[in-house]
Structure 1
Amino acid sequence: MADIKDPENTILMELKGGTVVIELLPDVAPKHTERMKTLARAGAYDGVVFHRVIDGFMAQTGDVEHGKTGGNLRRAGTGGSDLPDLPAEFSRLPHARGSLGAARSQNPNSANSQFFINFGDNDFLNGQYTVYGQVIEGMEHVDAITRGEPPREPDVMISVKVAADAE
């Protein structure tokens, strides 16, 4: 297991291939970090599909409204949570391989529950989307997520937990 420095700000995402460890960045994006922990602790991300996965670009998930398996997967990617949208928390951090970015609509202040993990360095996103985490272990499991917009047989986040709560 990765060297977890701050369990309260570390996410353990269980995928079909194994655990992805994500270090959140509360000093950079405190509101986005807090939202992810709130939704993880509520179990909102458990069973949510990766609804948009573009080879060489990113894997997007987190539609807790429509993205649960057994739910309305045709609408996955159009919803959020029942919590208010978040203001942008742009920084100088790059959208590098393994970074976690907040998905949003054209409105910079419309991020809610959806996020994406970058497969590669996507510098063209820098300064336009909030970066609030970094995969520190298990990127090979992210790389193995089924591609598609949406994938015919989408992968799911089996469980998403805050490391401080994991046993």
Structure 2
Amino acid sequence: MLNKFLIPAMVLAAGAAQAEGLPGVSDGPGPNLVIEVADSAGQSKGKIVLDLYNDKAPKHVERLLTLAKSGAYDGVVFHRVIDGFMAQTGDVEFGKHGSDTARAGMGGSSMPDLPAEFNDVSFQAGTVGMARSQDPNSANSQFFIDLAPATFLDGQYTVVGQLVDGWDVLNAVKKGDPAANGAVVDPDHMLKVTVEE
């Protein structure tokens, strides 16, 4: 199985400009995902809050909520983090902290893949998108949060939400090796993921 998020070569070659701070966004009607981030030793680094766009990608948002409410996201690592680009997590099959995460990024959940819900939201700093393989209709459980604008992803990946709080926490997530496609050694993880309706 392919890694669920294919990083365009131009990003790895040129890199994206690091965002200076969270753009002026406000918390919408929700629902929200609240993610407590922890380091590899289990020490909390703080929380990030994602406002989910139920009106733009209802099937994908429903999947995120289902996995969060079931506890499936608790303990899942940020397996790929590329400085100036994005932080990816959500592999509930192969990405559990404390287990062998060598295959993190190749799995999903026990639920079927989702049909794409491409929309008119542009990928900017803090935008939340669904990871997928080369098949546009293969998103499942993995998602990524942009650390900087990435408009080249517009119309290619389903946008599901926006970071509305915790930019400093997101920006402090342990980065991976760009030469290894952002793979992270001893990665940070989502200690606890809860839903605010």
Question: What is the TM-score normalised by the length of structure 1?
Answer: 0.93
Once the two structures are superposed, the pairs formed by residues 1-167 of structure 1 within 5 Å of their partners are 6=29, 9-15=31-37, 16-148=44-176, 149-164=182-197
Give the fraction of aligned pairs with identical amino acids, expressed as a percent. Answer: 53
Deviation at 1:6, TM superposition (A): 3.7
Q: For structure 1, which segment, 43-52 or 11-20, has the greater mean C-alpha deviation from structure 2 after superposition?
A: 11-20
SS at match of 2:102: helix
Deviation at 1:69, TM superposition (A): 1.1
Instruction: Write the distance in 1 (CA, Å) between the matches of 2:29 and 2:130.
Output: 21
Q: Which of structure 1's runs of 4+ aligned residues deviate more than 6 A?
A: none
Instruction: Write the distance in 2 (CA, Å) between the matches of 1:117 and 1:30.
Output: 18
Q: For structure 1, which segment, 111-120 or 11-20, has the greater mean C-alpha deviation from structure 2 after superposition?
A: 11-20
Q: Give the number of aligned pairs.
A: 161
Deviation at 1:147, TM superposition (A): 0.7
Gaps of at least 5 residues in structure 2 are 1-25, 38-43, 177-181
Deviation at 1:5, TM superposition (A): 5.4
- List per-residue Cα deviations over 1:79-126 (Å, max 9, x = no partner): 000000000000110011001000000000000000000000000000
CA RMSD in angstroms comes to 1.2
Gaps of at least 5 residues in structure 1 are none
Q: Which structure's CA Rg is the greater one?
A: 2
Question: What is the TM-score normalised by the length of structure 2?
Answer: 0.79
Instruction: Write the distance in 1 (CA, Å) between the matches of 2:59 and 2:167.
Output: 24
Deviation at 1:28, TM superposition (A): 0.2
For residues 66 and 137 of structure 1, do their structure 2 counterparts lie closer, same or farther at Cα, with a shift above 3 Å needed? same
Q: Structure 1 counterpart of 2:193, which letter?
A: V
Q: For structure 1, which segment, 15-24 or 31-40, has the greater mean C-alpha deviation from structure 2 after superposition?
A: 15-24
Deviation at 1:72, TM superposition (A): 2.4
Instruction: Write the distance in 2 (CA, Å) between the matches of 1:74 and 1:104.
Output: 18
SS at match of 1:87: coil
Instruction: Write the distance in 2 (CA, Å) between the matches of 1:159 and 1:122.
Output: 27
SS at match of 2:60: helix
